[in-house]
Chains A and B, each alone.
Chain A
């Protein structure tokens, strides 16, 4: 199974800040890396697919980059509704996997 290491596990930020979350895969997963946002009591929602493709309806302040083993999620000008937990997920192998998550707190 392909392990994903996400960092940091949590971070504190303020409205208007720019933050970056990283995700590292144990092996080359090309661009098969997705990012999800999850709020308490809710199912996750996809933000970015294929490392850098912004999903329809997702604000442009979210962006993703990377390929191979190293990936980043950047949120520019953090908004109050962005305080949530973020997960990376790989869809490269037959068995999928998630990173451990990054909780973004005020």
Chain B
């Protein structure tokens, strides 16, 4: 079964750091581009970051550039999101998601994790 399972997260003070992990199984992780998407409580989805198959190319939303780092360990089939200088507005459920590409279907998210809540509060 294709699966993504996030871990980490929790409560952190403003200015603090946290690392999220996303364990992949059931597919060839090293062949998939991966993303992080977040959703503040009661609000919409926000794309956060994207990484290519070998981790050499990364892309970020402007709101997290310079503070968040997406990375991956293909030997461990795990995706990471290192978050630093956290702000109250970073409070959200964080999802990892797999990118799918098809010639006729384009690029989209085809597999999602269950989500992990990160709360930034003093």
Contact = CB atoms under 8 A, between A and B. Distances in A.
Interface of A: 1, 31-32, 34, 36, 38, 43-46, 49-50, 53, 85, 87, 89, 91-92, 94-101
Q: Which of A1, A45, A87, A99 counts the most chain B CB atoms within 10 A?
A: A1
B102 interface: yes
Nearest to A99: B44
Top 6 A-B pairs, shortest CB-CB distance:
A91-B107, A43-B112, A50-B106, A101-B44, A49-B105, A34-B108
Interface stretch (B18-26, B45-53, B82-90): B45-53
B9 interface: no
Given A95-B50, A95-B59, A38 B106 contact: no
A98 B44 contact: yes
Chain B binding surface SS class = strand
Given A1-B61, A43-B112, A43-B114, A98 B45 contact: yes
A92 B60 CA distance: 15
Interface residues of B, number: 25
A89 B44 contact: no
Nearest to A35: B108
A29 to B, nearest CB: 10
A95 B49 CA distance: 8
B47 A96 contact: yes
Contacts of B114: 43
A46 B99 CA distance: 12
A13 B21 CA distance: 40
B70 to A, nearest CB: 12
B61 to A, nearest CB: 7
Given A44-B109, A46-B110, A91-B106, 19 more contacts: A1-B61, A43-B95, A43-B112, A43-B114, A43-B115, A46-B109, A49-B102, A49-B105, A49-B106, A50-B106, A53-B105, A53-B106, A87-B44, A87-B45, A95-B47, A95-B59, A96-B47, A97-B47, A101-B44
Contacts of A53: 104-106
B50 A94 contact: yes
B44 A100 contact: yes
Contacts of A32: 106-107
